[in-house]
Structure 1
Amino acid sequence: MTTGTPSLRIAVLDDYQGVAARLGPWSSIPDAELTAFADHLDDVDALAERLAPFDVVCLMRERTRMPAGLLSRLPKLRLIVTAGMWNASLDVGHAVRQGIAVCGTTSLQSGTPELTWLLLLALARRLPAELASVAAGGWQTAVGDELEGRTLGILGLGTIGSKVARVANAFGMRVLAWSENLTAERAAEAGASLVGKDELLRSSDYVTVHMKLSPRTRGLVGAREFGLMKRSAFLVNTSRGPIVSEPALIDALQSGRIAGAGLDVFDVEPLPPDHPLRSLPHVIATPHIGYVTERNYAHFYAQFVEDILAWIAKAPVRVLDADRSSLQTV
């Protein structure tokens, strides 16, 4: 990095924990200045003003929306680097047409399935109520559930869903799986049985979502699907909020249509302070931390620097094209 006037100004957005400077090898970028922002901005005018001086913007996943209307107000911007190889909050097509290079990173795949099991186990053993009781000077308040012999339904059996399935097998659970293109052979390889979506919802004691957000999966679990689930069943979503209809989820929780939910993802993030999912009973909510581990962050930031250095050398790597975004031009 430079101590004089830099030739390259780099912004890192949404560095919530203030760790970007420490975890990334930024000093290997010659004649550059790094600015990491810990706060989150939604307002387009405020973002345009903040980002106007920067040549490079680094995005931590989909925390900040970068639509065409914002990109058009950033004539100095020449490179966007995003954590991951797909970003639904970035209009990649418009960026490319504007002459902005867009590059991504690979991602470690352990954190999200581990958090999935943390949420599922906490729901099963009524952990928030027991922790609160002990902290208040009390003792046992609820009767938890054993997982052995219970049924886990997995919507989406890709890399993360398969990791979840293998842990379920270790617990002695029956594992069902569904996605539109899943085959019985592929399900069996992960230790699951392929069933129809409705059968999975009717039969499962726990339902967990592991699908990519797309027009096809948006609202995949709605009022009809909650109506199929057991009243004793729990939903876990560590994928993307809009895959589950939020109004239908809130109604199902308030009416007792399902027993509870473990949620790491939401329609709007950060979750508004007065949002009902912050206070509903039988909800365990975490602030989209499935991938937030020191090891994964260090991996992201190392590849951010690799991307920037490769772009400087006019040999960009991990380049995203217009097909890597589902954001509509706005």
Structure 2
Amino acid sequence: MSVSATASAVARAEAPAATPSRTAHGPGSAPARPRSVPSWVWALPPVAVLALAFLYPLALVVQQSVTPDEGGVSLDPYADVFASEVFRDALTTTVWLAVGSTVGCLVLGFVLALVIAFVPFPGGKAVARFVDVFLSFPSFLITLALLFVYGSVGMANGLWTDVTGAAEGPFHFLTTPWGVLLAEITYFTPFVMRPLLAAFSQLDTGQLEVASSLGAGPVRIIRRVILPEALPALAAGGSLVLVMCLNEFGIVLFTGAKDVTTLPMLVYSKAILESDYPAACVVAVVNIAISVGLYGLYRVVSRRAGA
């Protein structure tokens, strides 16, 4: 073997083995990390939908509420509406109906929840489940049911006229504020019962047994043991009912109570019947402001109650 051939063989043996080049997308290479999308991009679609479906119409209502009417008769819609006796009466009626309905729902809901949770009777679980189903009913359906029972040509008046032979029955309260109050209490009571039943289900029954063994009567057990545990649920349910009663429209409309004018009914009257859109928008803005304030209260109470 020649010297040159021997040198070439040694050079080939000592040369490092060639390693295949690693490309960005070849086998064994690290995958390219996708570019992250800024978080604000994902927020754009829901914000756009919210702005188009809610914020823009709300802005139009607020703008219309500060715009004088076309005839130039009303230069300050807020001053004219606030000075109106109709508005003051509607505001007073709305507040007392909402407060009265809330108090009635709290009392009735607490009693019914106590019976369902602590008094064993056949069908108790079915009644508790029906409370959940009742929450899905529309408000006008309850009003129609009351009309079938206590309306001018309802079953109660029909039974009275059949028995006494009178020309008409004595039940005509559904067209009064008391009828609206009854309908709202009937419809909104389950909204108080639902959080109460949830709170009662977490109550330690051992406390009740200990209190009973120490000689405490049912009234004292309710006052000293059950009521403190139920207060957060009562506050949360009552706040929610107050907000919903404040904005209730269907019950007032379907009872046919012509002398009962609430803020939602006044908005309907001003906008649809009188075509006074600035005044209707002013009342709507006032109603929204009160509702948002009460909703904020409801959220605070619910957070403290752990709801």
Please tell me the TM-score bracket, short chain as reference.
under 0.3
Give the TM-score normalised by structure 2: 0.22
Q: Which has the larger radius of gyration?
A: 2
Higher helix share: 2
